[in-house]
């Protein structure tokens, strides 16, 4: 069976779109967007053979679904709209004809990813106004969120988050970019160890400096955290937030993996040197180990070690954060 990565971003998008109401009271037809905005509808019999819009309304007379129909009668795209209690538009999701997600727009300054980006990027006295700002999610191939863009109500794009995936669909890198300068102000790199079920995360700052590096045990498949959890400040030190995040972006392993055994434990230095050792212990001063055929115990300080993996495939260092199941 294929290993599946449940991206926390995609789960957020799906939860938002799936939570929208589909209750329809009546339907109207429009020739184009201009006529829709102008509220100039057309007779149902006049729509055949031409491109047109099919707009569904709820009992409050708000459009909740917009379907774009081609001249041959096939569906080009579907949009779902959501409003708050006062009737203000707060979400707009776009789907393909096969119900693949294409885009999601969230309106308002309380969107979690936008809030966290602003907290990281701007000082409290930032003169920009974020009331009724837009957050745009782009969903690559209807499967994975590839970009999150932030824009003020007057159309000024002030930042974006780019997400890259490996060939297995695992989140590989996340870049926070300031706009319009296009400068990367924050970056995360992810490495998923399928055999050991451990995720390693590196966080880099404004100047590319390493801020944090942790290894985290992935949550079991039945513990899925569905609330969007963008990292708050330097949360690689905040275990509870990371735990929730990994519950939402983990690899589901449908069967027990076969862990290959090696003769020695593998230590990789910060310079990239690969050394086969016999691991002894983790101490305050560093990692104690023996070299092949040697009896003497040596110690290497932690700052010189990138990773240490046991002969059974378990990550020994950096020490995994274990997530407690409820």
State the Rg of the chain over Cα: 25
Which range is most confident: 110-114, 190-194, 239-243? 110-114
Q: What is the pLDDT of residues 144-198, one digit of tens each?
A: 888 999 999 999 999 999 999 888 788 889 999 999 999 999 999 988 876 666 7
Q: What percent of the chain has pLDDT over 70?
A: 75
Which helix (DSSP H) or strand (DSSP E) does residue 10 occupy?
helix 8-18
Q: Encode burial over 260-298: b for 16+ CB neighbours within 10 A, e otherwise.
A: eeeebbbbeeeeeeebebebeeeeeebbebbeeeeeeee
What does the pLDDT read at residue 83?
93
pLDDT tens digits along 21-47:
557 889 999 999 999 999 999 998 889
pLDDT exceeds cutoff 60 at 283: yes
Domain residue limits, the chain? 4-23+58-252, 265-310
What pTM was estimated for this model as a whole? Answer: 0.62
The pLDDT value recorded for residue 217 is: 66
What band does 213 get if pLDDT is binned at 50, 70 and 90?
confident
Residue 236 has pLDDT above 50, yes or no: no
> N- to C-terminal Cα distance for the chain?
27
Identify the residue with better confidence: 222 or 159: 159
Q: How many CB atoms lie within 10 A of CB 76?
A: 11
Query: What single string gives the DSSP state of each residue in 246-284?
Result: HHHS-EE-SS---PPP-SSEEEEETT--EEEEEEEEEET
């Amino acid at each position: 069976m294929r290993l599946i990565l449940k991206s926390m971003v995609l789960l957020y998008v799906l939860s938002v779109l799936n939570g929208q109401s589909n209750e329809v009271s009546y339907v109207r037809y429009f020739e184009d967007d201009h006529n829709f905005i102008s509220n100039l509808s057309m007779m149902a019999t006049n729509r055949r053979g031409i491109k047109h819009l099919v707009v569904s309304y709820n009992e409050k007379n708000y459009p909740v679904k917009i379907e774009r129909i081609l001249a041959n009668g096939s569906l080009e795209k579907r949009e779902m709209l959501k409003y708050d209690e006062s009737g203000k538009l707060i979400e707009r999701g776009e789907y393909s004809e096969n119900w693949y997600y294409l885009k999601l727009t969230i309106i308002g300054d309380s969107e979690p990813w936008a809030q966290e980006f602003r907290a990281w990027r701007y000082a409290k006295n930032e003169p920009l106004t974020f009331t009724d700002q837009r957050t745009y999610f782009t969903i690559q191939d209807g499967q994975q969120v590839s970009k999150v863009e932030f824009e003020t109500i007057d159309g000024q794009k002030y930042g974006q988050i780019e997400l890259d995936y490996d060939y297995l669909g695992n989140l590989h890198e996340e870049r926070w970019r300031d706009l319009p300068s296009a400068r990367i102000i924050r970056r995360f790199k992810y490495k998923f160890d399928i055999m050991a079920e451990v995720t390693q995360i590196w966080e880099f700052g404004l100047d590319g400096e390493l801020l944090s590096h942790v290894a985290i045990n992935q949550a079991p498949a039945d513990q899925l955290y569905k609330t969007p959890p963008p990292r708050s400040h330097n949360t690689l030190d905040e275990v509870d937030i990371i735990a929730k995040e990994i519950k939402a972006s983990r690899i589901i392993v449908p069967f027990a993996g076969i862990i290959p055994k090696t003769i020695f434990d593998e230590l990789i230095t910060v310079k990239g040197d690969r050394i086969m050792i016999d691991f002894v212990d983790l101490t305050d001063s560093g990692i104690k180990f023996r070299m092949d055929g040697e009896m003497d115990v040596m110690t290497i300080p932690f700052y010189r070690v990138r990773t240490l993996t046991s002969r059974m495939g378990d990550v020994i260092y950096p020490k995994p954060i274990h997530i407690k199941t409820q």
